[in-house]
């Protein structure tokens, strides 16, 4: 049974509604949704504002009823984007971003020697979470380097499973008789591979030949290999030109080819010369001849200026040329002064 009062009340209400003014389509609010959305509302109709997914507001919801005046009340709702957790730091890498708000995307890169384990970008979702999960920059590693033929690994610092970090080195050594071509040191690169490996090649040298007027000694072996040595010497008055010891090089030749050079006979009977900074009598100092390479300075006269100067002479493989300006002093010409006693120019 319906109460007469209720009938009375509802008819009154109906009247008033008819008498009130309709509300217009409500104002658009950025990132908000109005429900239900219509072009006009009867007084008493209700609408609800909610923020779009990814946007939030304090309270997050506003409910309004269309008043008799037909004017919606002032709506202070503000929908703001959700903010994802701070993602500005990626260890050993970099994050590029404009903001951490929905619906922005941020991107990642790793420093040299590190690689991205994960995706190179992530989006701030409606729920305010990064998707996919943030990546990490993992250090680049290299596997154990392959050992070149005829070589052995002489230095290597490894992690678990024999891998090593970017920038680390491995050093190779060739087996005996083998010479290295390339760098003995390889480096683990930022791309996780190794720099170019060296090569080891077997190297033999021919037997060294005996120099004229001298001798050569080397190990009594069938074959001479890389790094084997030979020593040279010369007979009596001959002098070795070159090192005493030579080595078989990686090119299959000897590091040098020493030879024996003859000494010189002195063709002047008497002269004062300078040898190693001292005045000496050539006939006494070099009684037994001058060795290859030895050098003296002769005194010569400048007649016009009445002074003396020196000129060098060197024994080169049996040849010793006396400077042309030198005049041998005759013991008969006793009134003449020897050039070595004349004041220097």
Ligand X SMILES: *[C@@H]1O[C@H](CO)[C@@H](O)[C@H](O)[C@H]1NC(C)=O
Q: Which residues bind ligand X (CB under 6 A)?
A: 117, 138, 144, 161-162, 183, 185, 187, 189, 191, 193, 195-196, 249, 251, 253, 255-256
Q: State which residue, 33 or 138, has the beta carbon closest to ligand X.
A: 138
11 Cβ contact partners less than 8 Å away, ≥ 6 residues apart: none
How far is residue 2 from each of residues 6, 11, 190, 341, measured CA to CA in Å? Answer: 7, 13, 87, 158
CB of 172 to ligand X, least distance (A): 11
Minimum Å distance from CB 255 to ligand X? 6
Output the smallest distance, CB 142 to ligand X, in A: 10
Smallest distance from ligand X to CB 121, Å = 17
CA distances from 319 to 38, 96, 258, 295, 298 (A): 122, 81, 19, 12, 16
Q: Which two tokens stand for residue 201?
A: 């090649």
Question: Toward ligand X, which CB reaches closer, 195 or 302?
Answer: 195
Is the CB of 136 or the CB of 325 nearer to ligand X? 136
Give 195 or 283: the residue with its C-beta nearer to ligand X. 195
Residue 268, burial from CB neighbour count under 10 angstroms (0-12, 13-18, 19+): middle
Question: How far is it, in rounded angstroms, from Cα 156 to Cα 10?
Answer: 94
The tokens for 202 are 């077997």
Cβ proximity to ligand X, 185 vs 209, nearer residue = 185
CB of 157 to ligand X, least distance (A): 12
State the nearest-atom distance from the C-beta of 300 to ligand X, in Å: 40
Residues of the chain by 3-state class (helix, strand, coil), percent to 5: 10, 40, 55
64, 50 in Cβ contact below 8 A? no
Query: Long-range contacts: 208-212, Cβ < 8 Å, 24+?
Result: 208/232, 208/246, 208/254, 208/257, 211/240, 211/258, 211/259, 211/260, 212/259, 212/260
DSSP 60: S
Q: Which is nearer to ligand X, 144 or 280 (CB)?
A: 144
- Our CB check for ligand X shows the closer of 125 and 253 to be 253
Q: How many whole angstroms from its chain centre is CA 317?
A: 51
Provide, rounded to whole angstroms, the least separation between the CB of residue 205 and ligand X: 10
Closest to ligand X by CB, 52 vs 195, is 195
- Least Å distance between CB 141 and ligand X? 9
């Amino acid at each position: 049974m319906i109460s007469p009062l209720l009938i009375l009340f509802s008819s009154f209400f109906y009247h008033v509604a008819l008498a009130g003014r309709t509300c217009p389509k409500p104002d658009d609010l950025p990132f908000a949704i109005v429900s239900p959305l219509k072009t006009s509302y009867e007084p008493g109709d209700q609408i609800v504002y909610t923020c779009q997914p990814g946007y939030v507001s304090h309270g997050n919801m506003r409910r309004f009823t269309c008043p008799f005046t037909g004017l919606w009340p002032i709506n202070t709702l503000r929908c703001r984007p959700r903010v994802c957790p701070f993602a500005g730091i990626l260890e050993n890498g970099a994050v590029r971003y404009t903001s951490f708000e929905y619906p922005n995307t941020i991107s990642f890169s790793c420093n040299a020697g590190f690689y991205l384990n994960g995706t190179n970008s992530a989006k701030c979702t409606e729920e305010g979470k990064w998707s996919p999960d943030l990546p990490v920059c993992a250090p680049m590693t290299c596997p154990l380097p392959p050992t070149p033929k005829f070589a052995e690994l002489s230095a290597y610092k490894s992690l678990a499973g024999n891998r090593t970090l970017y920038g680390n080195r491995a050093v190779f050594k060739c087996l005996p008789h083998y010479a290295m071509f390339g760098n003995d040191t390889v480096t683990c690169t930022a791309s996780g591979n190794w720099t170019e490996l060296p090569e080891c090649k077997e190297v033999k040298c021919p037997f060294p030949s005996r120099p004229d007027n001298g001798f050569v000694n080397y190990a009594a072996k069938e074959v001479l290999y890389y790094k084997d040595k030979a020593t040279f010497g010369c007979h009596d008055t001959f002098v070795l030109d070159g090192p005493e010891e030579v080595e078989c090089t990686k090119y299959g030749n000897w590091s040098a080819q020493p030879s024996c050079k003859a000494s010189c006979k002195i063709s002047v009977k008497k002269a004062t010369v300078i040898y190693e900074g001292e005045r000496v009598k050539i006939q006494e100092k070099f009684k037994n001849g001058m060795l290859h390479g030895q050098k003296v300075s002769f005194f010569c006269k400048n007649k016009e200026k009445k002074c003396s100067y020196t000129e060098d002479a060197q024994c080169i493989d049996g040849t010793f040329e006396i400077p042309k300006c030198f005049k041998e002093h005759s013991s008969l010409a006793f009134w003449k002064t020897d050039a070595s006693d004349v004041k220097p120019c």
